[in-house]
Structure 1
Amino acid sequence: MDIKRNILLNPGPATTTDTVKFAQVVPDICPREQEFGDVMEFVSKGLTEFVGSLDKYTTVIFGGSGTAAVESMLSSAVGEGYVLIINNGAYGKRMCDIANVYEMNYIEFQSSNIEAIDFEALEKVIIENKDKLTHLATIHHETTTGLLNDVSRLGALCKKYNLDLMVDAMSSYAGIPIDMEKMNISYLASSSNKCIQGMAGVSFVIANIETLVKTKENKPRNLYLNLYKQYEYFKKNYQMRFTPPVQVLYALQQAIVEAKKETIEARHERYVKSCEVLWSELQRLGLRRLVDESCHSHMITTVMYPEVENFSFDDMHDYLFERGFTLYPGKISSKDTFRIANIGEIDHKDITNAMKVLEEYLIKIGFIK
């Protein structure tokens, strides 16, 4: 059976292999069976091993989008102390929204969504509040713009002031090499449908086991998303407390197999090469990028609207969509932008083909003569 291949240039869900898609076609099974427990064990350990050792780290899995994992991480890990949240994009703001909903103690550190974090200003805030701060939360790759935060430097800062670092690595995990121990990351949240190249529907938190166990005494703020309770139940028999998305986990198992075969380092190189081709083509077409290369992820590029009177993002989207390529709108209010992602099961040839179609559209509307 042939499946039409769409090139998704949106920042997730990403383009997947046919083998990942077909992995979902399995006999019906009760998720309490040992056979499915083996799948869950493979997935949990496989996800962990990409970023840390099994003796120090564990992966806690939830059914739900990536926000479920971030919400679980924040609401479960932070007790009566304060968390310092770095807000430099829509997803940093979402962390603040979560903290507000749970009436958590938090301090918001606002930072530019297109420039690197001012570490001198950040450290000043930490010093001013060091008696009450227990955690620092940040986005690794701010999907809003393609900005990449320096998590290694944040980890060193957290070590200096004895803070637990919580990282939303939604669109960096499995796309950028991460070493949780070296980076001093206590908790890392991600999902199944971005750089790991699985299907949407599973999210997870990878946690330092020693740090996670200490949260056992925290007053629960929720039921389904309680991180320690989910971990405690899972470690006994590799089952989730509540019904898991069975088929999506089979697909994730296959995605892990394929990621191990490619290696995260090689996948990152593939993404970077695609990005280099993309940037070269954008320059050739006369389109401007928003984020400077010095703090860019090389995985999602925010592009300024072409300066032509009759430009319409929806019209451009539809033109490319009809030809097998999906673009994504921008997510910042201050400038008119759209985004092009180069994650997923695509390569530089797909980017070149997409840019040819974009060039056709820009000629059509008179931006290119």
Structure 2
Amino acid sequence: VNGEFGRRLTGHARRWALPFDTLESEYGQPLHYEGVRAAAAGGKYAWLWAVHGETSTGVLNDLAQLKQICREYGMRLAVDGVSSLGAVPTDLSGVSWASGVSGKALGAYTGLCFVFQGDEPRVSGDAQDLLPVYMDVDAYEQSAGIPFSQSSNLLAALDAALRAFETDAPYAHTASRYRSIRSAVEEMGLRVLAPREHQAPYILTIALPKELSSRELGQRMLDQGFALQFESGYLLERNWLQIASLGHLKEKDIVRMLDVLRLFVETMGKRRQLPLTKEAGPQAVAANR
């Protein structure tokens, strides 16, 4: 666990009364891979659950390292790929289970969930009696078809969206936009939570100083037509603001969004005598002076 969505995995495990242990890292930092390896070496675990792209913090966890650890110690790997699928090239070989959705980075309509399986699903005993049939992947497998009605509109939209991924162009565009947005944000003297070497190249989490309110800044941006993320409880609690670089964004709109954000940061900072952050680099200092 190194973010809100890793913590939600523990909630799922707890609701199903599964026996598990949790290894936590500070929010904004990568997973503690050596700690994972040391725990796996004890030989008492059958599964490792983890989030690939931790949306809450903007950290991209190292899927290759997790797969390597599972290979070495004979564990199966379950991955939450909801945010990373379609945002970064993702190799699911060696992953037993992974989840994804039709919205987010894939850009189709929200409403479909994917389960990628490397193992043949089998449910038996009490679990079979407790598991809702719509959530029973074994039921889908055994039907040799589509056991329940699906929305043809959602499927058609997904089919259209996936055509963009016949090349790597969407990944390159997303990463390019991220780099320009991050540089501009840091030049404003703001701190991006995730270190550059562990940054998911599609969403930035900005840890605002206490002199700036994420709620007020986010609402001001929304009033100008820019929907930054700030309303989730875990963001408000930590005074964080997020900028996503997914989708069919136009360069002129990104430039205008950054100009408006810079204006609000400066005016709100002056109003509250905002000091330069210690994390701000030379470029940020020069810009503010």
How far the C-alpha of 1:333 sits from its partner, in A, is 7.7
> Do the aligned partners of 1:145 and 1:301 also contact (CA within 8 Å) in 2?
yes
1:244-300 deviation per Cα after TM superposition (whole angstroms, max 9, x unaligned): 23422221121112332xx2x221111111111111111222211111111111211
Identify the residue that residue 101 of structure 1 maps to in structure 2. 15
CA distance, structure 2, for counterparts of residue 335 and residue 317 of structure 1: 14
Structure with the greater relative contact order (CA < 8 A, sep ≥ 6): 1 or 2?
Answer: 1
1:23-76 deviation per Cα after TM superposition (whole angstroms, max 9, x unaligned): xxxxxxxxxxxxxxxxxxxxxxxxxxxxxxxxxxxxxxxxxxxxxxxxxxxxxx
Across the aligned residues of Structure 1 and Structure 2, the Cα RMSD in angstroms comes to: 2.2
Identify the residue that residue 257 of structure 1 maps to in structure 2. 163
Identify the residue that residue 78 of structure 2 maps to in structure 1. 166
Identify the residue that residue 200 of structure 1 maps to in structure 2. 110
1:212-235 deviation per Cα after TM superposition (whole angstroms, max 9, x unaligned): 24x2557424122011212322xx
Are 1:175 and 2:87 counterparts? yes
Identify the residue that residue 325 of structure 1 maps to in structure 2. 226
TM-score, normalised to structure 1's length?
0.67
CA distance, structure 2, for counterparts of residue 160 and residue 145 of structure 1: 29
Are 1:230 and 2:131 counterparts? no
CA distance, structure 2, for counterparts of residue 92 and residue 366 of structure 1: 33
CA distance, structure 2, for counterparts of residue 349 and residue 272 of structure 1: 17
Identify the residue that residue 350 of structure 1 maps to in structure 2. 253
SS for the counterpart of 1:301 is: strand
Are 1:110 and 2:24 counterparts? yes
2:194 alignment partner, one of 272, 284, 291: 291
CA distance, structure 1, for counterparts of residue 53 and residue 251 of structure 2: 21
Are 1:359 and 2:273 counterparts? no
Aligned partner letter, 1:146: G
SS for the counterpart of 2:216 is: helix
Are 1:156 and 2:68 counterparts? yes
1:67-125 deviation per Cα after TM superposition (whole angstroms, max 9, x unaligned): xxxxxxxxxxxxxxxxxxxx111111111111111111222122222222222221121
> Do the aligned partners of 1:135 and 1:166 also contact (CA within 8 Å) in 2?
yes
CA distance, structure 1, for counterparts of residue 155 and residue 29 of structure 2: 37
CA distance, structure 2, for counterparts of residue 324 and residue 115 of structure 1: 31
SS for the counterpart of 1:268 is: helix
How far the C-alpha of 1:166 sits from its partner, in A, is 0.8
Identify the residue that residue 97 of structure 2 maps to in structure 1. 187
Aligned partner letter, 2:227: T
Aligned partner letter, 2:140: Q
How far the C-alpha of 1:358 sits from its partner, in A, is 1.1
Are 1:137 and 2:40 counterparts? no
Percent identity of the aligned residues? 23
Give the strand-richer structure, 1 or 2.
1
Aligned partner letter, 1:142: E
Which runs of 5 or more structure 2 residues have no equivalent in the other structure? 271-287
CA distance, structure 2, for counterparts of residue 165 and residue 364 of structure 1: 48
Which runs of 5 or more structure 1 residues have no equivalent in the other structure? 1-86
How far the C-alpha of 1:347 sits from its partner, in A, is 5.0
How far the C-alpha of 1:173 sits from its partner, in A, is 0.6
CA distance, structure 2, for counterparts of residue 299 and residue 225 of structure 1: 30
> Do the aligned partners of 1:109 and 1:122 also contact (CA within 8 Å) in 2?
yes
Identify the residue that residue 204 of structure 2 maps to in structure 1. 301
Identify the residue that residue 281 of structure 2 maps to in structure 1. none
CA distance, structure 2, for counterparts of residue 189 and residue 95 of structure 1: 12
CA distance, structure 2, for counterparts of residue 121 and residue 318 of structure 1: 40
CA distance, structure 1, for counterparts of residue 115 and residue 205 of structure 2: 28
CA distance, structure 2, for counterparts of residue 333 and residue 314 of structure 1: 7
> Do the aligned partners of 1:158 and 1:164 also contact (CA within 8 Å) in 2?
yes
Identify the residue that residue 245 of structure 1 maps to in structure 2. 151
SS for the counterpart of 1:249 is: helix
> Do the aligned partners of 1:270 and 1:347 also contact (CA within 8 Å) in 2?
no
Identify the residue that residue 176 of structure 2 maps to in structure 1. 273
Aligned residue pairs, count? 267
